[in-house]
Structure 1
Amino acid sequence: MAGGIWGSLHERKRFPKVCRCSVPGRGVGTLRRGTESSGNRDLGTGGAEGAPAPLGQSSGEAEASPGAAGGRSRELSEAAAEPRLVPQPQIPACRSRGPEEPVTSGQERPAGRGSAAGCRGLSCGHGSCAGPALISLLSAPSGDRQGHGDVSTGSHREQRGSLMRGGLMSRLMRGGLMSRLMSGCTVPGEGAAPREEVAYVTCTYRCTCSEQPDFLATVDLNPRSCSYGQVIHRLPMPNLKDELHCAGWGPACGCFDSGAAARRSRLVLPCLISSRIYVVDVGSQCRAPRICKTIEPVDVFWKCNKGYLAVTHPLPNGDILIANTGDAAGNGKGGFVLLDGETYGLKGNWENECEVPPSGHDFWYQAQHNVLVSSAGLVPRVAGRGFNPEDLKKGLFGRRLNVWNLSCRSLTQCFDLGEDSLPLTVRFLHSPEAAEGYVGCALSGAIFRLSRSCERDNWAVEEVIRIPAKDVRGWIMPTMPAFIADLVISPDDRFLYVSNWWHGDIRQYELARNCKPRLVGQVFVGGSILRGGPVTVCRDEELKGQPEPLVLKCKRVYGGPASLQLSLDGKRLYVTNSFYSTWDQQFYPSLIKEGSVMLQLDVDTDKGGLSVNKNFLVDFGKEPNGPCLAHAIRFPGGDSKSVTLP
């Protein structure tokens, strides 16, 4: 196993300063550095002397080998873990609902960027709504899928032929409407997106004092509800110490009553430590989801030789792609695990075996440009020991951005974004035609713009944002860089939101074509440089003084902003403050004791600006089983982190 990880390190050391593709016979990427260089790029490794030693593993945890952890995990609920898939609920026929008609219990509201009346924008030439026929076409099983026969009914085939002969499908594809329909978005100009009513939040008890299973929390977001801002349901996992981290949707299917938005009925929960995969049914009862399938770690290890699973997105063909950060032994290894979009069974690896990156974490794709971009990640065995400044300059933190051919599943370009940059987060613009995205580097505080270059099928990266580091005393290093934990782009592609986990601020940047993003909003919601804390800021290029601690409803907020989620109308930004349990314990020990929170920021979408909503606070420190750590946030009708599907 040691040879594998050192082989990866040697491979990474081959990268020169100028970006170069590491795959023989592949194209050479273009890397342009920004002219602005505010802040110190040096992470101050000279200050590692005398720094506190990283925290070790908790007793009883087996982080180095998730296989061992899987074997020792307790089965708490055999019924909840029963590996069977609940049949897909019947999709109702598309109909128009009156504006005052209430939504009954268990019925989901339509979601998307446009109005709930998306069928009005998809009417045929005869004036009748094409929603029902289009829904039947989209929800019918595909006959050209490998291993699946054509089980479409005659009615489905007739409707499909009618749509194709009428040219509706071609018009939808040319106008990008099919992408917006399948991603939960409607035609622009058709009205405002419906407000989110519930959120699903992943919560973990790992590294806390509670020997309890992780759970999926359902949070009430309806301001008219008596339980607004409270956890109304908890779905416990059947095993301990999974570390529920990211959450992603399964393939969209059918539509809501209005015909506007694609319906998502399955939430996929890959586990960062145990490498399990839970599939949760949220379509039957959106306010009380339940587990409908579990894929055990041993299956992932033996079939894929992968582990430590992270970000999930559905593919254009309906299958589900999950990025991994390591192999079964915890060594650094990138790549993807593939699930069947209908059965949620494990298919195997997605990429060609000879082109596995040395590390991975996040990814995004643009189907119309046939491109998938994946980021680097933390080596699981190294990250499990905590952050150690001595690991810097050793190549243990990723520095590579990977560009893939989506249809061929092959690696075409690689970008070296700098030593110990750790490009962790990738986001494309939501427009299906956009050939532009942004990459957040966690340890360097830099954000790169990814765009198609002048050469055909080649991409280029350019540094457009660099958050200055701060000279400090009383911290693990003398220089505290900005730690970019998450990015989210507004559905209209106007704003970019950045969470800075170490400094404690959330930033809002205005995006413009061919221009560098402009900072238009900033608010501090925690962090390591608060006034009265153990860290003293000696030099700061941005602030005149250290920010004050945030107190909401008589509770002080600990930790820093980690995971973000934006409402579909772009007016409400939600944030949680747990990044990764081991690092939470090291940098924010009070967070372990007091528990996470979920905050809401009000967004000025006209001129830009952020402000904390003082009437909203989800306190995960008051959970029945003790304080827990909350991370990912997803909305049942689609959200701003959903990839636009073709």
Structure 2
Amino acid sequence: MTSAQTDPTFYRSAADAAAAPGEELAYVVAFDRAAQRHDAMTVVDVDPRSAGYGSVVGWTDVPSVGDELHHFGWNACSSALKHEGHDMAGLARRYLLVPGLRSSNIHVLDVGDDPRSPTLVRTVDGKELSARAGYSRPHTMHCGPDGVFMTCIGGPEGDDDGPGGIALLDHSTFDVLRAWETDRGSQHFHYDAWWHLNQNTLISTEWGSPSMIENGIVPELLLSNSYGHRVHFWDLAEGRNVQTVDLGAEHQMPLEVRPSHDPGATWGFIGVVVSTADLSGSIWRWFRDGDTWRMEKVISIPAEPADPGLLPPLLQGFGAVPPLITDIDLSVDDRFLYVSCWGTGELKQYDVTDPAHPREVGSVRLGGIVDRAPHPARPDLPLAGGPQMVEVSRDGRRVYFTNSLYGAWDDQFYPDGVGAWMAKLDADPAGGLTIDESFFPHGDDFRGLRVHQIRLQGGDASSDSYCYR
């Protein structure tokens, strides 16, 4: 049960989250690809009533260089309400845990006292992560009822390509507690993980070992279908792998895990970057069938023919631009699925009221390998990169995204540079997207750094798990 001490941004239900006051700030990580300057957490004003709307209003450097800040998240969220009697005294959505994908350091930033001025309060050294959990290259996190689940790409120091997995951190002290898994079965590669809390089920996906990703995509490995192509289902309480589903070797790199926000649901979506059969990207739905978890492809997005002379060397032999589905996000009301096609520069919106039969209802284009579509605010400025990390407001009316994927992969697909930019879309409740022409932080606004993941003040569509209907 909630109490007077409970953080008001711990929402009992998805409906409560959507009805709460909207975000006024967005936290956006920025990194230096050259690893010569400090990476940073930036704070962007997203309040249209503010004179600073669409500008960077806060900046906090991390102390080291070469981290490549990537994905990050909250120390605690609505999932803390899962267990009646759970000790929440003093627990709040106050700290951002910000891993360095290359350094394995985890920086803890306090945004409680002044949300516009994050303060570094601790750095968990990569050696501590390795020693206590046996992992490196922390990638994605979700705040659970018993702590922070930190997914990691790599094994321990000295065996970086060893099995990746999930490290469990205390959400108050930030100490690394242990590896979460007790029986991983055949799982080796790791990427993302999220769960159905009320179904005692965690779902995880696969990317590749550090040596397969850190210097860019390895064409020989991709064409030999050597990257991840499986989805794993786990007993959440026990950390035990109970089922693995192979999507087929040609479906390379199932990445983001987006479960329904309905705590009684047993379905969700996963995006697959590329098919080596035809360069298409795809969206798969998982669902429970009796005692078995099943996967089915529900969306296929084809590659687009292109002049080889306009393509980077990696793609010239194909004469086509793959969509490259690198992120997806599901609105809190479970109605709309957003799909980032980083290669073609398109963000697609699907009505998933019937999750087995999505319908495309909206689309915008910015950037893209060939199109370089400009933002309406700067029609004179061709954009590199494309919609990548996407985040949706809790009420579903606003969609934000940034343009960088991962340093070495940026360089392969956009060899002339990706720059840095962030965009906001207004989402029609009936379907459809419109670019907000007054919101376009870019270039020098981010001091020459590249920008990646976004988190919204008070939570967003990919932050929280809800425990009640």
* TM-score normalised by structure 2 residue count: 0.88
1:304 aligns with 2:144: no
- Note if contact 1:488-1:566 (Cα within 8 Å) is conserved in structure 2: yes
Q: Verify the 8 A CA contact 1:184 1:263 in the aligned structure 2.
A: no
Match of 2:393 among 559, 567, 570: 567
1:423 and 1:205 map into 2 onto residues whose CA distance is: 27
1:411 maps onto 2:241 in alignment:
yes
Shift of residue 378, structure 1, vs aligned partner: 2.7
Matches within 5 A, 1:417-436: 417-420=247-250, 421-436=252-267
Quick one: which of 21, 26, 44 aligns to 1:194?
21
* Contact map agreement 1:332 1:380 (CA 8 A) in 2: no
Offset of 1:316 from its aligned partner? 1.9
Inter-partner Cα distance in structure 1 for 2:24 and 2:335 = 24
Corresponding residue for residue 135 of structure 1: 4
Are 2:183 and 2:239, in contact at CA under 8 Å, matched by a contact in 1? no
Among residues 101, 114, 118, which one is paired with 1:272 in the alignment? 101
Question: How far does the alpha carbon of each residue in 1:520-553 deviate from its partner, in whole angstroms, 9 at most, with x for none?
Answer: 111111111217xxxxxxxxxxxxxxxx544533
1:211/1:514 CA distance change after superposition, 3 Å:
closer
Q: CA 1:447/1:135 → structure 2, altered by over 3 Å: closer, same or farther?
A: same
DSSP-derived class of the 1:589 partner: coil
Check 1:356–1:227 CA distance in 2 against 1; reply closer, same or farther (3 A cut): farther
Alignment check: 8 A CA contact 2:193 2:204 kept: yes
Q: Residue 298 of structure 2 aligns with which residue?
A: 464
SS at match of 2:194: strand
Alpha-carbon separation, structure 2, partners of 1:332 and 1:601: 40
Q: Is it true that 1:450 corresponds to 2:286 in the alignment?
A: yes
Distance in 2 between residues matched to 1:576 and 1:190, nearest whole Å = 24
Q: Identify the match of residue 324 of structure 1 among 145, 148, 152.
A: 152
Which of 363, 368, 385 is equivalent to 1:522? 363
For residue 630 of structure 1, what is the amino acid of its counterpart? Answer: V
Q: Which amino acid aligns with 1:405?
A: D
2:423 aligned residue: 599
Deviation at 1:557, TM superposition (A): 2.3
The AA in structure 2 aligned to 1:434 is A
Q: In structure 1, how many angstroms separate the alpha carbons of the residues matched to 2:398 and 2:9? A: 23
> Distance between the aligned counterparts of 2:11 and 2:67, measured in 1?
30
Cα separation, partners in 2 of 1:377 and 1:271, compared to 1, 3 Å: same
* Deviation by residue 1:343-381 (Cα, 9 ceiling, x = unmatched): 111112110165472111111101111100011013221
Q: Is the Cα–Cα contact under 8 Å of residues 506 and 522 in structure 1 kept in the other structure? A: yes
Cα deviation per residue 1:460-484 (whole Å; 9 max; x = unaligned)?
Answer: 1111001012333233231433211
Q: Which moved more, 1:483-492 or 1:388-397?
A: 388-397
Answer yes or no: is the 8 Å Cα contact 2:56–2:445 preserved in 1: no
* Distance across 1 between alignment mates of 2:218 and 2:126: 28
The corresponding residue for 1:641 is: 462
Structure 2 residue matching 1:287: 3-state secondary structure: coil
Measure the CA separation in 1 of the matches of 2:68 and 2:327: 18
Query: Judging changes above 3 Å, is the alpha-carbon distance between structure 1 residues 394 and 345 closer, same or farther for their aligned structure 2 residues?
Result: same
Paired residue for 1:584? 410
Structure 2 CA distance, aligned partners of 1:588 and 1:574? Answer: 21
In the TM superposition, what are the counterparts of 1:125-524 in structure 2 within 5 Å? 134-136=3-5, 183-184=10-11, 188=15, 192-207=19-34, 211-252=36-77, 263-317=92-146, 319-327=147-155, 328=157, 329-331=159-161, 333-352=163-182, 355=185, 357-420=187-250, 421-444=252-275, 445-453=281-289, 455-456=290-291, 458-472=292-306, 473-474=308-309, 475=311, 476-477=314-315, 478=318, 479-513=320-354, 515-524=356-365
**Amino acid corresponding to residue 449 of structure 1 in structure 2:** R
Alignment deviations for residues 171-229 of structure 1 (CA, whole Å, 9 cap, x no partner): xxxxxxxxxx874355748984422100100110023xx72110000111111212111
Displacement of 1:512: 2.7
Structure 1 vs Structure 2 CA RMSD: 2.4
Deviations 1:29-67 (A, max 9, x none): xxxxxxxxxxxxxxxxxxxxxxxxxxxxxxxxxxxxxxx
Kept in 1: contact 2:14–2:332 (CA 8 A): no
Distance in structure 2 (CA, Å) of the matches to 1:305 and 1:504: 37
Secondary structure (helix, strand or coil) at the match of 2:444 reads helix
3-state SS of 1:303 partner? helix
State the shift of 1:431 in Å. 1.1
Partner Cα distance (2:94, 2:17) in 1: 25
Secondary structure of the residue aligned to 2:231 is strand
Distance in 1, matches of 2:260 and 2:49, equals 33
Distance 1:236 1:514, change over 3 A: closer
Question: Per-residue deviation at 1:622?
Answer: 3.8
Of the three residues 439, 448, 462, the one matched with 1:627 is 448
Letter in 2 for 1:224: R
Decide which structure has the larger Cα Rg and report it. Answer: 1
Checking the alignment, whether the CA contact within 8 Å between 1:438 and 1:449 is kept in structure 2 is: yes
Mapped partners of 2:393, 2:266: distance in 1: 23
CA distance 1:627–1:407, shift in 2 (3 Å): same
Structure whose residues are more often helix by fraction: 1
Q: Contact (CA 8 Å) 2:105, 2:125: kept in 1 or not? A: yes
Unmatched segments (≥5 aa) in structure 1? 1-129, 140-180, 256-261, 532-547
Give the secondary structure class of the aligned counterpart of 1:586. Answer: helix
Q: Which has the higher contact order (CA 8 A, sep 6+)?
A: 1
* Aligned mates of 1:491, 1:525 — CA distance in 2: 25
Tell me if structure 1 keeps the 8 A contact 2:367–2:384: yes
CA distance in 2 between partners of 1:214 and 1:413 (Å): 39
* Whole-Å separation in 2 of the counterparts to 1:191 and 1:560: 28
Contact 1:423 1:441 in 2 (8 A): yes
**Rounded Cα–Cα distance in structure 1 between residues aligned with 2:256 and 2:225:** 19
Q: What is the CA distance between 1:387 and its match in structure 2?
A: 2.3
SS at match of 1:298: helix
TM-aligned CA distance change 1:283 to 1:393, over 3 Å? same
For the pair 1:552 / 2:382, whether they are aligned, the reply is: no
Is the CA contact (8 Å cut-off) linking 1:437 and 1:449 kept in structure 2? yes
The verdict on how the C-alpha distance between 1:285 and 1:461 changes in structure 2, with shifts beyond 3 A counting, is: same
When residues 213 and 353 of structure 1 are mapped into structure 2, their CA distance, relative to the original with a 3 A threshold, is farther
Give distance in 1, aligned partners of 2:12 and 2:42. Answer: 25
Provide Cα deviations, 1:234-266, integer angstroms capped at 9, x if missing partner.
1100000101000111113899xxxxxx94111
Counterparts in 2 of 1:523 and 1:380: CA distance versus 1, 3 Å: same
Distance 1:267 1:518, change over 3 A: same
Aligned length: 441
What is the percentage of aligned positions where both structures have the same residue? 34
Alignment check: 8 A CA contact 1:335 1:356 kept:
no
